[in-house]
Amino acid sequence: MTSPHLLLLSSSRYRDAGFLVDGLPVIKDFLVNCIAGDIKDVLFVPYANAAKEYDDYEARVAAIFDTCGLGVQSIHHESDPVAAVRSAQAIAIGGGNTFALLSRLQEAKLIEPIRQAVMAGTPYIGWSAGSNMACPTLCTTNDMPICEPESFDALALIPFQINPHFVSGQIAGHNGESREQRLAEFMAVSPHKPVLALPEGTALRRHGEALTMSGHADGILFSADKQQVIKRDEDVSWMLSNLQTPDA
């Protein structure tokens, strides 16, 4: 069976760096190390752009990817999006609004074709909403529900949830729930669905049954009864088969 290859970035920016500037070396290294041949072109999915400014979004991504010799073709140009997914050398799903993204993928009937392609070996790159989309559901997004998907079920390319853009603690001047409190609420009603909180500037990288966290900070794994720090550059392959710590 062909192994899946995933790169799931928490965000498109880190601190004051420009769009995908921090993530581009990681993306390039990821694609070079995929056992999928010489990748020259990436199929881009811009559906998370709530305003449907797909041409502009494509142009921004293409300008960045071009610096490392990668061509970009947005799926919104395709007369047959399903066929485009099946023939893609690699697939990238950008950030934006996760509810809009899932709704539009469902409307285009692309959920299962993308999942099948990735599980058959087509490399998948996601950032922010695109990383949420790799989870079993969109339920741990930070986004406003601006539209109603057919269901909350996403691509299920990994067996746990991600919370991107994670910020720990109470933000000064903000009297609403902290991110930890919101994730605790999710765990209270979904205790069997662990969540990996990814701060900006971090990523998960999967090659087959190997899973590694990387980036500028540690993550936090929220489960029913505890929170566990996941160190940067840590091998977390055990999360693909079970969600107990290796020494549990």
- Rounded CA gap, 242 and 248, in Å? 11
β partners of residue 74? 44
Question: Nearest-5° angle of CA 95, CA 173, CA 219?
Answer: 45
- Rounded CA gap, 239 and 243, in Å? 5
Environment class of residue 219 by beta-carbon count within 10 Å: exposed (0-12), middle (13-18) or buried (19+)? buried
CA-closest candidate to residue 188, choices 236, 233, 223: 223
- Rounded CA gap, 202 and 69, in Å? 24
Strands (E), 47-112: 71-74, 91-93
* Active-site position among 11, 22, 74, 143: 143
- Annotated active-site residue 76? The verdict is no
- Annotated active-site residue 247? The verdict is no
- Annotated active-site residue 165? The verdict is yes
* Active-site position among 128, 131, 207, 223: 128
* Active-site position among 5, 74, 76, 165: 165
Which two structure tokens, joined as six digits, stand for 54? 């797909």
Q: Which helix (H) or strand (E) holds 81?
A: helix 81-87
Residues noted as catalytic: 128, 143, 165
